[in-house]
Amino acid sequence: MSDAPGTTVVAGRGAPPAKTALRPAWPPRPRTYLWIAGSVLLLALPFYLDRFWLQAGLFAMAAAIGAIGINMLTGSTGQLSMGHAFFLAVGAYGYCAFAGDGGDELTGLGLPTAVAAVLAVALAGLAGGLFSPIAGRLRGAYLGIATLALIFIGQHVLFNAHDLTGGFNGRDVPPLNILGFRFDDSELVVAAIPFGSAEKLWYAGLVLLAGCALFARGVLRGRPGRAMNVIRDHRIAAGVMGVPVARYRAAAFVLSSMYAGLAGVLLALVFQRTVPDYFGMVLSLEYLAMIVIGGLGSVAGAVVGAAFVSLLPQVLTRYSDALPLVAESGTGGVAPGEAARYLYGAAVVAVVLFLPGGLIRLVTRRTAPPKHPDKPTPGTPGPSGEER
């Protein structure tokens, strides 16, 4: 606010475009080195970690994909969804149904597994699309409650549509097979390390996660993301700015469902068996915990939160004997799963109180543009200052 209005107003339309501050491509920023080091580390991990940790990591990757999806919906568009587990289930069971060959007396179309995976994601998107007339009209807690219904419907179907889901016992997941490369335990030795399903899926998971994260980032930083954010922050202004609010709400819901579907497919492949119990309320709440802990509205935050929430129980399980107050499952003490839930429950409270913006804020705080302390900001509205 330093330049005089008189000159700038007259300059108006013919003003020359100022030079955009483009960063030279070389030398790369320290951040680039961090990314390279991190990628190399992730790529090398299967050569060093045992199956337990690889599976834990794969859960985290699947959870991260799902969390990115729900973060686009809840974090970026401001629509509370408690039904994310339902769409994960659609993805997981959809994959089984499309890929299954009917050998276990359950419905199976026997499609190539890669096609089945794509179809399962599309099916989850379709399920989200069917729900989107509701999602486009409800908001806040009301949408949360409506999506809650999906969980109960989903659970009912999963337990009772025996031919499709295998009922209480669930069904086996056909291993992924892309152009003859099988992601199962068939022997494959790479650099003297036997590669089983976990090792192979690790790379598939990394590729999928990277692709999903980049796509989400592009969406959120581009035109759709700006529209989604204004729907969250100022719904009325969104319409006035020309954003078709209901259509964008529905689209965010569909996209988020497709991410959930893909997470479901990956989870099924890692588990190698899908059981209905897993896709309940608790899973939905875990996903909400992930994005709150990691950082609402941020792709990196979703990944960090997903890693935190899904790795914590595994860490506690593995080291339960070394930790105070955590006992082996079934011995009367606090089981690792429970302890993990207490911990991330506490983490949610701590983040909401002390770190609004999530764990990711710890990383970005240093790089964020500095606030200008010389210019006070009277009347800065809070996040709820939408309408009086």
Partner 1 sequence: MTAVPALEVTGLTVRFAGLTALDAVDFRVAPGTVHAVIGPNGAGKSTCFNVLSGVYRAASGSVRLGDEELTGLPPHRIAALGVARTFQNLALPPTATVADSLLLGRHRLTRTGFVAAGLRLPSALREERRHRERVREIAQFVGLGDALDRPAGSLPYGAQKLAELARALCMEPSLLLLDEPVAGMTADERRRTAAVIAGVRDSLGISIVLVEHDMGVVMRLADTVTVLDFGRRIADGTPAAVQNDPAVVRAYLGEDAEEPS
By CB under 8 A, name the binding residues for partner 1.
1-6, 8-13, 15, 17-18, 20, 214-216, 218-219, 221-227, 229-230, 233-234, 236-237, 239-245, 251, 255, 369, 371-372, 375-381, 383, 385-386, 388
What is the token pair recorded at 226? 């700006």
Alpha carbon distances (Å) from 333 to 47, 312, 338: 35, 18, 10
Listed residue (184, 219, 193, 211) closest to 71, CA to CA? 219
Distance in angstroms (rounded) separating the CA atoms of residues 219 and 72 = 9
Tell me how far, at minimum, the Cβ of 368 lies from partner 1, in Å.
9
Tell me how far, at minimum, the Cβ of 9 lies from partner 1, in Å.
3
Helix, strand or coil, per DSSP, at residue 366: coil
For partner 1, the closer CB: 187 or 374: 374
Pairing, β 171-172 against β 181-182: unpaired
Do residues 290 and 63 touch, judged by C-beta distance below 8 A?
A: yes
Tell me how far, at minimum, the Cβ of 297 lies from partner 1, in Å.
9
Alpha-carbon torsion (325, 326, 331, 333), positive or negative: positive
Phi-psi region for residue 197, left (φ > 0), alpha (ψ -120 to 50) or beta? alpha
For partner 1, the closer CB: 11 or 41: 11
- Cα end-to-end distance, the chain, whole Å: 29
For partner 1, the closer CB: 130 or 368: 368
For partner 1, the closer CB: 31 or 223: 223
Tell me how far, at minimum, the Cβ of 73 lies from partner 1, in Å.
13
Report the DSSP beta bridge partners of residue 88.
none
For partner 1, the closer CB: 28 or 222: 222
Tell me how far, at minimum, the Cβ of 387 lies from partner 1, in Å.
8
Distance in angstroms (rounded) separating the CA atoms of residues 268 and 95 = 8
Tell me how far, at minimum, the Cβ of 263 lies from partner 1, in Å.
17
Tell me how far, at minimum, the Cβ of 66 lies from partner 1, in Å.
17
For partner 1, the closer CB: 210 or 236: 236
Distance in angstroms (rounded) separating the CA atoms of residues 83 and 280 = 9
- Other C-beta atoms lying within 10 Å of the C-beta of residue 55: 18
Tell me how far, at minimum, the Cβ of 331 lies from partner 1, in Å.
48
Residue carrying the six token digits 């994959």: 95
For partner 1, the closer CB: 17 or 180: 17
- Other C-beta atoms lying within 10 Å of the C-beta of residue 343: 17
For partner 1, the closer CB: 243 or 289: 243
